[in-house]
Structure 1
Amino acid sequence: MMSFRPGGTDYGPTGQAAGGEGGLDSQWNGVDEHEVVVKERVACDRCRQRKAEAQCTFRLAHKAKEKRQRVLISSVYERRLEHISNRIEELYGIIGQLRDERHNGDSSLMAPTRLRAPSYSSLQSGSLRASPKAPAPAEGIESALFAHVICAARALETAVMNDPYSRAVDDITSALNTLRSTVNDQKQQNETLEGSRSFLKALPSGLSLRDLPIPSSLRDLPIPSMDKIMACLRITQESSPSEIYWPFEFGFLGDFTQYVIRACTPGPISDMELIIVHYVLYSLFTQCSVGADDETLRQDYDVQAATCRESLETILSSLSFHIDTNIDSICALYMASLHCLHRGKVSTAWTFISRASLMCLALGLHSSHAMVTEQENAVQRKMCLFWAVYALEKAVALRLGRPSTIRDQDITIPRLTLDRKMTSLAYNRLPDWIDVASLYGRLYDSLYSPTALTQPSSVRVSRTSALASELERMIAARTGYYNRPDLWSSHVLDLNLSRFMIHANRAIEYSTLASIYRGIPTESPSGIIPCTQCITAARVALEESEASIAILSDAAKWPTGLHEWINEILLLAPFIPLTILVCNVVDTADASDLGRLKGVVDGLQSLAQSPRYASCNRQLRIFKPLYDVAARYVEAKTSRESTDTISSLFTNPDTDVYFDDDTWFTLFDLAKGFILHRRHVICQGHSENTVRYTAHKCTALCPSKAARTGLNAALQILEYQELVQFEAKDAQRITEKFWKAFWEAIGLPLLSL
């Protein structure tokens, strides 16, 4: 048996070495003192076959590494190490400065606290608050809405270019050029924003992403202090459903408290859980601000809500592509989509909600068979979350003109019935919310999908009429909900806020109805005017939009979170109906529709003066040029028609044959020329009889009795001495005097030319 002893000897039963001392010493003399070498003679297979004594020698231990000469570090590596060292020192300095600032600001009521050591996220957030030169996010308009603007602009341009009289008016040409430039600029801006990130967060000066610990930064984001969070949760728990609304799809308040504990204490927490924490806290602080009576307390709630919002958007901007498929991820992505919609990031909202809907399908939340083994509480939680995702996904898909990812034929779970605690006008949780969402999904499939657009006209008209009738019935039923919200919801809102939401909802409903009716092929000669039902729905939508704008003008200050949501409604509600009525005004010159356009534009201009509603400038950049071109075109067209009506007076003596515009301008030139000729005759010393004879010849050239009467009366009123003293500066006064007498003679009000 082989033994591993120091010295490399094999001790047998007697304890004597197997090898001689001389041989061992001779081998040891040539070995380094630090090297452990074990040698042993073991018979190999060949030795055994020969039955000879063992003659094989091998090492039983690895030879220690020989000492090597130290390789000198090159100057390149020296510079890199020095650069890294300097960066670390700079980072330590920044962290220390931020720690001092936080320590100095802890006594302030408004200062949010951080529960952990500052990292990349806190640096980022601090730079956003401290830097006054942070670029404001550019505001774009999604392509689905902007397509309506392009259609209306083309209709205006076609109408102006086909009318030579309008083309000759400088004001119309200038307004049309402004509209072209505005549309092109907005189109380029939209294309730029579509390829950019939705939430851009500036890094501190001199730092880049690879300089900062990204993986550990999200859990160290700024968050309100623990006492403020607990106070907010206690208010939520002790408040009645009429004061603070807790969305049922968020689960129970006790479950959310567990998320808060994990977020505010050391330990692992996922990005999805952080999204849930920051979004729900943002929503709760906003609701507390709405109900606060003390102005100082309201401002504190707004500051805490803003802190949660900034952290939430930082997480969304850094979210990984790979997300675990579970209930927390579905809930977090649903909340992220809601936040993006309120912030006007519709494309990003679609990215989140479509991902959430696919996760719902993957987990079987739509299938009753997949939840047979689930407990009752878990089944109810999943059903609430699924139907919330379903309703939001259908609405966003219709707004962007995209097919839904959830097919109604695949759903086997029962529809969710809302009780009084689950409904809310503020969150658009009406009793028929699932029915409306289902209709939204069928609108795309039946009217706007590529297959639907290839159907014959009769099929499209039939589908449009059926879907429009269904939506009209829903609108009629919702009128009862709006008149008495206390009958179906326990959530009580401020009176002005409730009135605004009712008018805004009705504006969006009728805007959707107008979009449905627009699918009916037009019968107008110009080809740009929708059917009568579409125009009627657009008028109601614009009137409701104007009413909601008027409420905002008189309302008190609301929390910042509500202002962001309101600004998005002010974009969506009047957008489609305004473009529809612009096309109608161009075709019909309807003064009442022009007044509706003016009311909305003036209302938005008034709101845009306030910093709270500065986002109204986004749609005003489009609405104002559209209205200006339409208004000037209608003004020119009305003036032209008025001139044509007056020209009908100048007909043949015995018939009513209409003379064209050349006859009218001939009369004008005739009178003007006669005034100058009469002055020349008088200045040459001719008698007054000669002058009257010339006037008689001039009136004889008039094409009708009315024209002759008016011209003769106008010429007679010009006194002899006045023309004798006639000078160039008097030409305007004498001309006006002439035309005043002319119109009075033929019994019409003065029309200046």
Structure 2
Amino acid sequence: MKMPQMMAPRRRLSRPQLINKSLFAEHATLVEQENERKIDQIDRRLETVIRLLHDMKVNPSAGTTSSDRSGGMMGTPPTEGMSLFSQDGPPTSTNTPSSHALQADEESSAVVEGESSLAAHSVFATEFLQKVVSTKSLQDSSLDLGETLEALSQIVTALKQQPVAGEMTYPHAKPVQRQRIQGLELPPIQKAVNTIRVAKSQRLSGMAWIYDFLPTRRFPDLCLNVYFSENHSEYDFITVNGGLYSLFTDYAAQISPEDKKEYQEYARMCRTNLETSLSNLPLHLPASADVIVALLFGTFHAVEISKPSLAWTLASKASELCQTLGYHRVECLKNTKDDGKPRVRGMHWHQFLFWNVYYIDKSLSLRLGRASTIPDWHITMPEPSLEDPLEDPLLPYYVLWIHTAKCQGKIYEMLYSPDSMAQPYHVRQTRVHELVSMLHDVETRTQEANAKWGGRAREMVEGAFVDFCLISDSVLRLSMLTMVYRAAPRAEGSPTTFSPECIKAARAALEKHQECVSVMRKSHDVYFATYIHWTIMFAPFIPFIVLFCQVIETQDQQDLARLHGFILFLQEANTLSDAAHKMHRLFQVLYSVALRFVEFRTSTPQAQQTQASAEMDAYLAALGFPAKGGNGGNQQVQQQPQHQQHQHQMDFSQNATQASQMAGGTVMSGMGGDTMDEGLMKPGNPMMWMTNAAQLEDFLYSNQAMMDLLQEPNFESAQHP
């Protein structure tokens, strides 16, 4: 800008210029007044916002309109003492308790949202604005945004920390009292207290895991509250009955036959209470750690009665609540670092709950063939640390269970999910190698952990229980290893359907199973039911299926003997659950077919085997195993005269029907085909197309049919083979 000269003469303004200058001054004055008015208005609005934010902090429901309040809005779940159940019966009545009685500290929990949420983006915008305002150029200016930034920060905080109590309810729902369930009885309190005392002194296995899930409250105190108080929640009712059921069952196995019947009856009472309460849970559950504990107890029980789909329903809800409360994120540890919560096996309680939910979720994912509800890429919560010094020598075993569950989830995701089935040969082969390496790593770490902490672990719980867990876990991992190898693409020119590694793993699994049986016999089969439901039926027991196919292909007598030994063992599990009975019946039929096939191949002259093979193929087909050879078999049939083809088809259908009846009459319905030919020639299972090998395709399709059979409610034997 050019500076004016010092001695320049003053220039006189004309009339128009004077008028314009006057108008400009007047306009400037008006603009200044308008700006002041707007600033005052902004100040008043900011004060209002700040006041509202303060009210929201003090009373989260303050924003509710009077019309909503007068209309009976249920803004928050009722707290303890505000029961949704009718209060019929005395304090010691056996009715189920309040549905939504919650602890106060849980009601203040906030809904945790991910980085894609509006709240997360708002946090970024606020931090960005704070950085801009903090620059020197703006700090020196007259622009004062201090109160504005503070108000904005409070708004974002309120948006990010929305209380669970208000977020998980319907604003216009009318409160409706849920009626108590009548007719439920609890065992005598004296018997419950005595069993708890014995369990603690004798270190019964059930006592250890119950106390793990109740670090904030002693189990005896929780029992007394359920027995004598009306204000306990139905989730405490579930937890107490689940715990007592486990303790009564464990104790009944330790006492004399005279007293066994009495305590078994107490266990049945608690089981009835547990299952009745679980079956009557509402769809909407409060986001609370106590609710997650109750759901986990229900999930464990569902596994122990071989109801994997029911277990999945409960575990999925527990997973949802964990993610709502942010238990899957590392921020949960930062926010609760000094909250006074006790630690469980060296972990924060919320961390412990999350990894238990993770364990059951991943395991059931493989068992049911469903996508996990907790993707690994969604988790930032750290796994328990094994660095010395360890607070608990049992922690390494717990961590290894988590790693095993992670492998189970990966097996389904990488090898058996619909997307993985469409992957090319080299991708699937790479994934097989990766999963085999993971399983071998878990096995190595298990041996190292047992060598280092096994002695101390046996001081805390029964030594026989530790031995049983180690060997049964090994059976489970070998079964998983077989499943991994089974999914490997078939090598070109291989004489058998499955690779030598797959056959070797299947044989090792059945041999390790026999070792586990020997360990259980030493403990008088105390862990028999646990082994059936948490090992044999916890993941698809593929080794038996693989060796069955191997026997059909090779007539191996030793493998046939392995199948027979496993059948004899399963016969003892017939009465444990419907699923165990169905599994035994299915495997019994398969073994009978394999036995007859081997006898036929070894005793029938080669010249007479062609006609007899049709009958054997009929049995296999009725069980879900299409005839070996695929189209090759069709070509052979086409070369026969027309009348022979017709006769073979009649014999085939007749024999298949007989085999179907032998297996309980539901085999063909399990295959899902309208006719036998359609079922054999047009399988709809995408798992077939893993390779071009007809034998493996046949097995994969048949395996799905076998699994369908186990779900049939009327899968019973019409006659013994």
Q: Aligned Cα RMSD in Å? A: 3.8
Alignment partner of 1:486 is 2:455: yes
Alignment partner of 1:604 is 2:570: yes
Distance apart, 1:395 and its partner CA: 0.9
Distance 2:424 2:313 in 1: 34
CA spacing shift, 1:300–1:391, aligned 2, 3 Å: same
- The correspondence of residues 419-498 of structure 1 with structure 2, limited to 5 A, is 429-480=397-448, 485-488=454-457, 490-493=459-462, 495=464
Name the SS for the 2:208 alignment partner.
coil
Distance apart, 1:552 and its partner CA: 5.2
Alignment partner of 1:513 is 2:481: yes
Distance apart, 1:238 and its partner CA: 5.2
Distance apart, 1:633 and its partner CA: 1.4
Alignment partner of 1:618 is 2:582: yes
Distance 2:593 2:352 in 1: 49
In the alignment, is the contact (CA less than 8 A) between 1:517 and 1:534 conserved in 2?
Answer: yes
Tell me what 2:114 maps to: none
Alignment partner of 1:302 is 2:264: yes
Write the letter of the residue equivalent to 1:319. L
- The correspondence of residues 281-430 of structure 1 with structure 2, limited to 5 A, is 281-290=244-253, 292-374=254-336, 375-378=338-341, 380-417=348-385, 429-430=397-398
Distance 1:636 1:534 in 2: 26
Write the letter of the residue equivalent to 1:389. V
Tell me what 1:273 maps to: 236
Structure 1 gap segments, 5+ residues each? 1-94, 100-113, 122-212, 645-753
Name the SS for the 1:254 alignment partner.
coil
Write the letter of the residue equivalent to 1:617. H
- The correspondence of residues 95-110 of structure 1 with structure 2, limited to 5 A, is none
Tell me what 1:575 maps to: 541
Name the SS for the 2:217 alignment partner.
helix
Structure 2 gap segments, 5+ residues each? 1-87, 98-175, 609-721
In the alignment, is the contact (CA less than 8 A) between 2:363 and 2:539 conserved in 1?
Answer: no
Write the letter of the residue equivalent to 1:626. L
CA spacing shift, 1:641–1:502, aligned 2, 3 Å: farther
Per-residue CA distance 1:345-373 (angstroms, 9 max, x = gap): 00000010111011101001112224433
Distance 2:262 2:372 in 1: 41
Distance apart, 1:247 and its partner CA: 4.5
Distance 2:595 2:423 in 1: 37
Alignment partner of 1:504 is 2:496: no
Tell me what 1:228 maps to: 191
Tell me what 2:639 maps to: none
Per-residue CA distance 1:107-126 (angstroms, 9 max, x = gap): xxxxxxx97456699xxxxx
Write the letter of the residue equivalent to 1:400. L
In the alignment, is the contact (CA less than 8 A) between 1:272 and 1:329 conserved in 2?
Answer: yes
In the alignment, is the contact (CA less than 8 A) between 1:286 and 1:301 conserved in 2?
Answer: yes
Per-residue CA distance 1:450-478 (angstroms, 9 max, x = gap): 22221110111011111112202222332
CA spacing shift, 1:338–1:302, aligned 2, 3 Å: same
In the alignment, is the contact (CA less than 8 A) between 2:359 and 2:405 conserved in 1?
Answer: yes
Write the letter of the residue equivalent to 1:588. T
Tell me what 2:602 maps to: 638
In the alignment, is the contact (CA less than 8 A) between 2:458 and 2:466 conserved in 1?
Answer: no
Distance 2:182 2:410 in 1: 42
CA spacing shift, 1:621–1:482, aligned 2, 3 Å: farther
Distance apart, 1:557 and its partner CA: 6.1
In the alignment, is the contact (CA less than 8 A) between 2:94 and 2:182 conserved in 1?
Answer: no
Tell me what 2:33 maps to: none
Distance apart, 1:538 and its partner CA: 0.6
Distance 1:564 1:472 in 2: 24
CA spacing shift, 1:404–1:423, aligned 2, 3 Å: farther
CA spacing shift, 1:303–1:524, aligned 2, 3 Å: farther
Distance 1:583 1:524 in 2: 19
Distance 1:614 1:405 in 2: 27
Distance apart, 1:282 and its partner CA: 1.6
Structure 1 consecutive aligned stretches of length 4 or more whose deviation exceeds 6 Å? 118-121, 418-421, 524-528, 612-615, 641-644
Distance 2:414 2:400 in 1: 21
- The correspondence of residues 5-404 of structure 1 with structure 2, limited to 5 A, is 116-117=92-93, 215-218=178-181, 221-236=184-199, 244-247=207-210, 249-252=212-215, 254-290=217-253, 292-374=254-336, 375-378=338-341, 380-404=348-372
Tell me what 2:713 maps to: none
TM-score (ref. length: structure 2): 0.54
In the alignment, is the contact (CA less than 8 A) between 2:369 and 2:412 conserved in 1?
Answer: yes
Moved more, 450-459 or 502-511: 502-511
CA spacing shift, 1:307–1:420, aligned 2, 3 Å: farther
CA spacing shift, 1:568–1:600, aligned 2, 3 Å: same
Distance apart, 1:429 and its partner CA: 4.2
Name the SS for the 2:380 alignment partner.
coil
Distance apart, 1:311 and its partner CA: 0.9
Tell me what 1:152 maps to: none
In the alignment, is the contact (CA less than 8 A) between 1:507 and 1:545 conserved in 2?
Answer: yes
Name the SS for the 1:309 alignment partner.
helix
Name the SS for the 1:432 alignment partner.
helix
Distance apart, 1:520 and its partner CA: 0.8
Write the letter of the residue equivalent to 2:550. N
Write the letter of the residue equivalent to 1:517. Y
Q: Percent identity?
A: 29
Distance 2:239 2:306 in 1: 20
CA spacing shift, 1:581–1:237, aligned 2, 3 Å: closer
Tell me what 1:177 maps to: none
Distance 1:247 1:634 in 2: 50
CA spacing shift, 1:116–1:539, aligned 2, 3 Å: same
Name the SS for the 1:367 alignment partner.
coil
Tell me what 2:76 maps to: none
Per-residue CA distance 1:681-733 (angstroms, 9 max, x = gap): xxxxxxxxxxxxxxxxxxxxxxxxxxxxxxxxxxxxxxxxxxxxxxxxxxxxx
Distance apart, 1:236 and its partner CA: 4.7
Per-residue CA distance 1:571-592 (angstroms, 9 max, x = gap): 4578311111111111122222
Tell me what 1:740 maps to: none
Name the SS for the 2:383 alignment partner.
coil
Distance apart, 1:616 and its partner CA: 4.8
Distance apart, 1:598 and its partner CA: 1.6
Distance 2:432 2:591 in 1: 29
Write the letter of the residue equivalent to 1:265. F
Write the letter of the residue equivalent to 1:602. L
Distance apart, 1:229 and its partner CA: 2.5
Tell me what 2:558 maps to: 592
Distance 1:463 1:261 in 2: 52
